Amino acid sequence: PRCPTKQLLDDAEKGGYAIGAFNVYNMEGVEAVISAAEAESSPAILQIHPGSLKEGGLPLVSCCLSAADRAQVPITVHFDHGSSKSDLLDALEMGFDSVMADGSHLPFDENIMYTKFISSLACEKGILVEAELGRLSGTEDGLTVEEYESKLTDVAQAEKFMDETKVEALAVCIGNVHGKYPPGGPNLKLDLLKELRELTMKRGVSLVLHGASGLSQDLVKECINLGVRKFNVNTEVRSAYLESLKKPQKDLVQVMASAKEAMEVVISEKMHLFGSAGKA
């Protein structure tokens, strides 16, 4: 069934594991997440990025909501990277369980105002708000942030930000990247993560890490030990989908079924890695 995102994240905090939030674009994606979650007895988050919301609209959101309602395990539906007020206002009306108010492109004070505005509206509806501090580099659904524009999360800012905005989840930038990591592999600042974790824990705020595609098993485990409770995964699942389309198949139903299966394999692996398998 559907449940509040806060509950999934709080349960993960109690159990010392993390929830996978998987970006979906269509029905195959939604079904892949639900089948994997049911097969692994894992809670999961279905998330929709503004790019896919623009394409899929309310039918895509309804597909997520009804699949979540019908699921045998707890599932929530999240709006990812809401970097415009109008998208977020729409999302708050569409029935999402949680939204990301992404003001990371704004100067610090404006990010506070932006997040506060959304947070006050969401709060009335019992919708959880995630925000981002710092700025992630990399590419997601056509939007590229160059490495020189990226910024690590500042500890003093994080403290002020959480106290003023009252967000319930915070996405941090510790060297994580949307999409592929550079040839040397990820360079995550785990000391910074530890400092941020102390601040979020005191306030009951859930720690979120974007850019989880491409992180090694060891790094994921360390991040979970240091308090990460939600990992965003897009690229690896999307690549599995695209790879499966290269197989020579003529029957469209077969094409869709193999795409779903290919995504499901990756999603199941992540659920084991995040420790959410067996927790539903």
**For residues 178 and 260, which CB has a smaller minimum distance to ligand 13P in the complex?**
178
DSSP label at residue 152: P
Backbone region of residue 216 per phi and psi (left: phi > 0; alpha: psi in -120 to 50; beta: other values)? beta
Q: Element (H or E) spanning 257, and its range? A: helix 252-274
**Contact partner, 233, from ligand 13P, Zn ion, Na ion, none, Cβ < 5-8 Å per class:** ligand 13P
Total number of residues shown for the chain: 280
d(CA 272, CA 108): 36
Would you state the structure tokens that stand for residue 222, as one six-digit string?
């360390």
Binding mask 224-243 vs Zn ion (x if CB under 5 A, - otherwise)?
Answer: --------x-----------
**Locate tokens 């981002």: which residue?**
132
**For residues 50 and 211, which CB has a smaller minimum distance to Na ion in the complex?**
211
d(CA 115, CA 106): 11
**For residues 44 and 71, which CB has a smaller minimum distance to Zn ion in the complex?**
44
Q: Considering only residues 6, 78, 116, 178, which one is a binding residue for ligand 13P as defined by CB under 6 A? A: 178
Neighbours of 140 (CB within 10 A): 22
What minimum distance in Å lies between the beta carbon of 202 and ligand 13P?
A: 25
179 sits near ligand 13P (criterion: CB under 6 A): yes
- Contacts of ligand 13P in 224-243 (CB under 6 A): 232-235
Binding mask 19-48 vs ligand 13P (x if CB under 6 A, - otherwise)?
Answer: ----x-------------------------
Neighbours of 121 (CB within 10 A): 16
**Contact partner, 234, from ligand 13P, Na ion, Zn ion, none, Cβ < 5-8 Å per class:** ligand 13P
Q: What is the dihedral of CA 132, 197, 199, 180, to 10 degrees?
A: -20
Contacts with ligand 13P, residue ranges (CB under 6 A):
23, 80-81, 140, 178-179, 210-213, 232-235
Q: Which residues here bind Zn ion, judged by CB under 5 A?
A: 210, 232
Q: Which stretches of the chain bind Na ion, using CB under 5 A?
A: 211, 213-214
